Amino acid sequence: MDVGTRLTVRAYHVRSVEYGKENRVCVDGSLTVCPDVAAQLMEREPLIREIRIRIIRPDEHEQHTNTVMDVIPLSTKVLGKVGDGITHTLTGVYVILTGVDECGRQVCNFGASDGILKDKICWGRPGTPLESDTLISFDVVLKEGTWADRPGPEAIHRACDAFCQIFREQMKKFNGYKCTEKHVFQETYEPGRKDVVIVKEVSGQGAVYDTRLFGSEPCGYEGGRSVIDMGWMPLLVTPNEFRDGIMHAMD
């Protein structure tokens, strides 16, 4: 038996999400959100006209949402790269990224995901929040007309990734003994036995539909490469890379 990569995921459950003077997450399960950070994020992105950061609680799903461009877990690498080593992740909370332009044109709306929030998310599926989870809404308004070219959506994802990184940097310092769950994934390969290969097709049509791979952080934007820029060529991804968040959806 050949032994492949070993991935350890330590989960920390978030019990309270409140507004505060800073964006901070503590190992005890408390998290505060400061919407004022939006101004700093917009300074770096001239195509963004407004960023609205707010908390959506489990009993507040009966409300309108702009296009759901991504649902992002707050996870970070503590040791190794995406797919091996140690990852810290939060449970009980997700970041939901949505976008529209100044004229009301929905960004990356291939699946018509604007509408009533409770009807636009498949709750409790792999990669989606539970109905009982708290959502941190990161809603972006783009400059008029920039929704249809790559720079517009890329600016949205880049700004949201910078917001998530604020929490990731704090999570890297969490005490590993204080996690609420721990999961170890060891890849193994049996000589002489056939391996199972799953072929997954991802967005890479150009314009506003794209997917990034091999980011520096789980489900992260920075450090990743667009499948468009890689020529839409087939790429091999290991099971641990996939489960650790090697892929960042951009539509």
pLDDT digits (tens, 9 = 90+) for 135-192: 999 999 999 988 878 889 999 999 999 999 999 999 999 999 999 999 999 998 888 8
Handedness of CA 197, 203, 206, 212 (dihedral sign): negative
Mean pLDDT lowest among 55-59, 115-119, 233-237: 233-237
Average pLDDT over residues 207-217: 85
User: In Å, how far are 33, 34, 36, 72, 197 from 21, measured between CA atoms?
Assistant: 8, 6, 8, 23, 48
User: In Å, how far are 73, 161, 176, 194 from 179, measured between CA atoms?
Assistant: 16, 24, 6, 36
Confidence (pLDDT) at 190: 81
- Quickly count: other Cβ atoms within 10 Å of residue 65's Cβ: 21
pTM over 0.85: yes
pLDDT at 221 over 70: yes
pLDDT digits (tens, 9 = 90+) for 17-53: 999 999 999 999 999 999 999 999 999 999 999 999 9
Residue 110 pLDDT level (bands cut at 50, 70, 90): low
Average pLDDT over residues 200-213: 75
